[in-house]
Homo-oligomer: A and B are copies of this chain.
Amino acid sequence: MTAHIIDGKLFAENLRGRIAGHVERLKTEHGITPGLAVVIVGTDPASQVYVTNKAKQTAEVGMNSFKHELPGDVPEAELLALVHQLNADPAVHGILVQMPVPKHIDPNKVIEAIDPMKDVDSFTPANVGKVQIGLPGPVSCTPLGCLMLLRDHLGKLEGKNAVIIGRSNLVGKPMMQLLLRDNCTVTVAHSRTENLPEVVRQADIVVAAVGRPQMVKGDWLKAGAVVIDVGINRVPAPEKGEGKTRLVGDVDFASAAEVAGAITPVPGGVGPMTIACLLANTITTASLINGLVPPSDLTA
């Protein structure tokens, strides 16, 4: 193995430290305590774990954390009413509705109900558009985390050939905007791309975000490429015992690490960055809501 392992866990820890500093500054200099409201509908165990982690990390950086738990059969109108209440609450600077919501609720309606000024996931059309145009605002958390890791490892990204595999609204498309803004030549590849390995082989930077376990192989990579693996896939791990599982990325780590210059592991790479960037976005929105310039080290 030759690749440098990009330690997302450590980076996220340092980022949270910087965020705590900005929280302290907002409190003492401006009398603002940033507040993040998380809404969870139903009792999905994975969602419960995420929400608990978010609340814990929000409190740890000194922000106010507001948790709203609604039963799985809550009427859509009631959820929308809660969102409107949070929109109007001056103590709340970020609103996150944990997805997926139960099937009787239209997720687009929920997203459109969130005040774009408090849309820390950058899900609303207005915030998606602002990222493309280059106006200040929150940026999708996972792509922002990937960008921070890339900038930290490479310094300037200008002129690099970046290939993004996957074109989801959550990761691929906002990632394309951020890498373009950092002056990469950006290619977006996906399920309909012909000769994908050849396309990937031209990349200095590869971002894999397709949700297929270990799809990207080492021989798809240019020697020295920097590989960001966004995938989090649970696969059987019989070697750990019957019925056991383990987490793998969209990249075949073992073969990729032989060729890449640097690579994020799964777990411990991009994963820990997402919540940290959610907190970063809450600083950005709390600043903008109060007419302050957001800190430049917490956004794209």
Q: Give the B-binding residues of A (Cβ under 8 A).
A: 108, 124-130, 132-135, 158-159, 161, 167, 169, 173, 176-177, 180, 183, 185-190, 192-194, 199
Which of B124, B126, B173, B188 interacts with A185 by CB under 8 Å?
B188
Instruction: Check if B199 sits within 8 Å of A190, measured CB to CB.
Output: no
Contact call A180/B185, Cβ cutoff below 8 A: no
With a CB–CB cut-off of 8 A, which chain B residues contact A124?
Answer: 126, 129
Task: Pick the contact of A167: B173, B180, B189, B190 (CB < 8 A).
Answer: B180
Tell me the smallest distance from the CB of A188 to a CB of chain B, in Å.
Answer: 5
In contact, A159 and B192 (Cβ under 8 angstroms): yes
Q: Which residues from chain B contact A190 at a C-beta distance below 8 Å?
A: 180, 183, 185
Contacts of A158 in B (CB 8 A): 192
Cα of A119 to Cα of B180 in the assembled complex, Å = 25
Contacts of A188 in B (CB 8 A): 176, 180, 185-187
* Docked CA distance A157–B241 (Å): 48
Q: Give the CA-CA distance A169 to B169 in the complex, in Å.
A: 19
Partner of A125, one of B129, B177, B199: B129
Closest-CB distance, A180 to chain B (whole angstroms):
6
Closest 3 CB pairs of A and B: A125-B129, A128-B129, A129-B129
A186 and B180 alpha carbons, distance in the complex (Å): 12
Would B194 and A159 count as touching, CB distance under 8 A? Answer: yes
Are the C-beta atoms of B194 and A189 separated by less than 8 Å?
no
Q: Which residues on the B side are within 8 Å of A125 (C-beta)? A: 125-130, 133, 135
A108 to B159, CA, bound (A): 29
CB contacts (< 8 Å) of A185 on chain B: these are 187-190, 192-194, 199
Q: Which residues of B contact A133 (CB under 8 A)?
A: 125, 128, 169
Of the A-B pairs whose beta carbons lie under 8 Å apart in the complex, a sample of 12, sorted by A's number, is A108-B135, A124-B126, A125-B125, A129-B129, A132-B173, A159-B192, A159-B194, A167-B180, A173-B180, A176-B176, A183-B192, A185-B188
CB nearest neighbor in B for A188: B186
> What is the minimal beta-carbon distance from A265 to any residue of chain B, in angstroms?
28
